[in-house]
Chain A
């Protein structure tokens, strides 16, 4: 297996764990809130999911920097200044800052959850789209709009499932 295939494989595993963890973390959290409290078993499941998510984040970041190294070593340095790459790095930065603020309980759950899901899916989208020649700020405007949309959608889902708004 050459280095590029190894990087793609590990990056995909990391993204799968991250996106899957964020999605199932959200679903289980919602289910746990149905009876108004998180019991020890639900707490344990959520803890396992968030640990998996963080493992996914570590694998994604390490393999992501592996790609940057590959660009440097194979004469593709111009790709290191690609606005799409920098938008992705910014979203990852928001993602890890959000995780920290959630751990410190300095951010409301509805905002943290919305940022986490949007950031994972946003980074995934930026990783797979091709031919989107937008500027760095255009990508971030799309991301900011997506954050508001996802928070709104999550709020509606919670209203339908739990019968009350959380924002």
Chain B
């Protein structure tokens, strides 16, 4: 693997985890007694930027390196399902993340001041954030399994 690809993979992983932390913070702060719109704006934009960056870096790594170098090793190894199920799922479901994060970002930025009083709006937004969080955690854990299966 070239140094550029190593850096891209590192950025993909670390920025992805930062995205998860930002989504988690958004969910946590939505349930504070006094909702801070400023904090929600910071966490939601961090999550959005993180998922976009993870998408671009991961996508580049996948196209340039993974398909021709890592995928054959996994498919010939004892855990071929790590590619055929987990990576295939990751590839498609990941695409939800930037879009969901964008919906959260727009809601916080344009309707943030209504979240304190409008409980149905807050709960609906919390549900979207929770779905985003669950997907992103699955992406991270899936990545650990895929990387672990690349050598066995």
Contacts and interface: CB of A to CB of B under 8 A. Distances in A.
Interface in A37-64: 58, 61-62
Given A62-B14, A65-B13, A69-B10, A80 B28 contact: no
Contacts, number: 57
Contacts of B31: 100, 103-104
A75 interface: yes
B46 to A, nearest CB: 12
Contacts of B140: 65
Contacts of B28: 99-100, 103
State the main secondary structure of chain B at its contact with A.
Answer: helix
B32 interface: yes
Contact of B148 (A65, A73, A80, A96): A80
A166 B80 CA distance: 50
A96 B24 contact: yes
A65 B14 contact: yes
Interface string B68-95: 0000000000000000000000000000
11 contacts: A58-B21, A62-B17, A62-B21, A68-B144, A71-B147, A73-B10, A77-B147, A78-B152, A89-B141, A89-B144, A100-B28
Interface of B: 6, 9-10, 13-14, 17-18, 21, 24, 27-28, 31-32, 137, 140-141, 144-145, 147-152
Interface of A: 58, 61-62, 65-66, 68-69, 71-73, 75, 77-81, 89, 93, 96, 99-100, 103-104
Given A61-B17, A68-B147, A80-B148, 11 more contacts: A62-B21, A65-B140, A69-B9, A69-B14, A77-B149, A77-B150, A79-B148, A81-B148, A89-B141, A100-B27, A103-B28
